[in-house]
Structure 1
Amino acid sequence: MMLLRHIPFLKAVFLYSFTAFGGPQGHMGMMIKTFVQKRKDVTEDELVEYNSFCQMLPGPSSTQTVMLIALKRGGIPLALVTLLVWVSPAAVLMGLFSFIIHYYHIGYGPGRVLPMHLFSYVQPMSVGFVFYAATRMMQTTIKHVATATIMVCSLVATLFINSPWVFPVLLLLSGIISNFSNRRIPDPLQKPKRINWMHLGAFAGIFIVAGVLSELARTEDWAHGRIFNIFENFYRFGAIVFGGGQALLLMMTYQFVSRHGARVLTAGQMLTGYGIVQAMPGPVFSVCSYVGGLAMSQYGGMWQLIGCVVATVAVFLPSTLLLFFLFPVYENLKHHVVIFRALEGINAAIVGIVWASGIFLFRTIAFDASLSFEWSNLIVVIITFCLLYYSKIPPPFIVLGWLLLGWSLH
């Protein structure tokens, strides 16, 4: 019954899950519009802080940020329901594509092209959302020369250092640098947050049990034992992956495509799934539903469906357990002066990373196959940004407009 009063919030999350394109940075723009400006579930400062904290954790940062908004409103029960509402649409769509790819053998390439013209303007639209998020975050976070310098350095480092480890390193260095100022004093902590060690125990226990069962399934050649391998693989991915969908793709490609003696998917199947998820709303990690389904497809439709579910649950579970354990720890620690001062530099670094993400994404769509500049994409980016910044049009209608335009013009 307690959850009933949160139905309007869950409706907003559900609608958001169908219109959130562009990965974590693109999602931030829509979060600001939906949960800060329209619904006022959190302040803009709180949202930036949540996003900064989630960037320091493994797993899907946008999913964790949405869960923290829910955690503030209704505690762990609402956070878990919000996770289900946010993940389900994308996971169902990607799982469905695993059946389509398997049974109808369609994908990218000559004679095997998916009808993706509906999403023609999704990528430049997403870049507009990213630039909008960066602009709003900069207005609330960058307050003096030191934070502006951190932002610019983080932007440059993200653009030119091609490694997922650049993110945690930048956040650490930015936190250290901002501690050289002694002007900011945190408010006293009124009541320490309770830390539930059970979440950390569950995280470690599942990791160990999953590894043991996976190895037994392999060595003992259990019937349908691959499902245990899939759970262990995706749980491990969710526990250690930094750098978002790109880093996840590398891990999955090694595990299921290129690993010696363990090839489960073809490179074409993996790339097709990753291409499709770029055009899907919701978390990029929903591609795991597609990969898990295809990995179990040889055992029949029911096992393929189980593969979709198991892979999705496994990849989101570890980051959820870590979030519930570490966020109260963080809430207590941030009232210590060192952590409090570090947050200013960390938030400034996040703004630089968001700007860099927008520039990188635009660079990938700026030129067509003949290396001619795509002015239409630039126009879409500018229009999207202006609609978000200067108008009160809800983001879902902006997304729907570009989808309809892509469908009508091709």
Structure 2
Amino acid sequence: MRLVLLFSLLLVCHAKPYKRINVMELMKLHDIMQQDNDNNIDDDDSDEDDDDDDDDNFITDCPFGCQCFRRVVQCSDLGLTSVPRDIPADTIMIDLQNNDITEIKEDDFKNLDNLYALFLVNNRISKIHPKAFQNMDKLRLLYLSYNLLTRVPENLPKNVFELRIHDNKISRIQKGAFRGMQSLHVLEMSANPIANSGIELGAFDDMATLYLRIAEAKLTAVPKDLPSSLTELHLDYNKIAKVEVEDLIRYKNLKRLGLGFNQIKFVEDGSLANIPKIREIHLDNNWLKKVPPGLNTLKYLQVLYLHENSISSVAVNDFCPSRTKTKKLLYTGISLFANPVRYWQIQPATFRCASGHRALQLGNNRRK
């Protein structure tokens, strides 16, 4: 459940222009506050003692201008040009978003071995020292979005499970950029000028991630050799022209695929057979002229977006298998609106494996 909430918050936070991250909400999401409270519970405390505890929660050696409370150091919106010195060693979360920091130096986070979350969003960071994140074995959240990075930072902490580096200037992903990151749940790299030629062979070697998003980039094809562990892949708002069999052959566990807002003209027959566990496919706002082949073989597919294409006809077996029992899950959403198909000519049996008429979004052809 927590992972689902994490994905939802990730999608909400990714929006232009920069939207401030609610640090306290993230702390609740990851139970950090509760964990901290559990370490200080005393059943015999009186109300007076509770008041004293509240006073103790404020950190007296807080960096100048920052606010510090319960091992959280908040230094956002201060116009800082560098990371503050003398951050308490027991800090678990640092908020440095919306400043003017240009560089992360080797010793900026030295001795912060308990750090769980680090937010450097919306600064002017163009350089990060290769040893800046050393000894951060407990770091789980690393947000570097809305900066001026031109490459993936070196020696990223291995135990991070959410890494956000979208809205930078990254045009190349070097070989081994994410080496050893086997705990990564979410990797958000959208809104970087990444082309297929900028992804070096072996860029994703020796890593595992569940959610990967490279939207709003310069991709003209589905990248090769992405992590085989993927359960969600989002490549929206690129210039991908087609989907071939070899594009999806590695991703047997994929459950959600986002290819909306591309230039896809066709999906090669057999491509979708490589993702048998898929539950949601977004192919809206493309250049498709017919329903992609193979949809009727996907037993678990529930949501399918095909609106805003050039589909002119729909066959009775495009979506559903000939034998109803082979479909494990019914469709809960099929969108076909804004296509030149005459929806009143579609045979009712075409949607025999849908959960009901409310699952269908048809409508007549809308002019673009």
TM-score range, shorter chain: under 0.3
With normalisation by structure 2, the TM-score equals 0.24
Greater relative CO, 1 or 2 (CA 8 Å, sep 6+): 1
Please state which structure has a larger fraction of its residues in helix.
Answer: 1
With normalisation by structure 1, the TM-score equals 0.22
Please state which structure has a larger fraction of its residues in strand.
Answer: 2
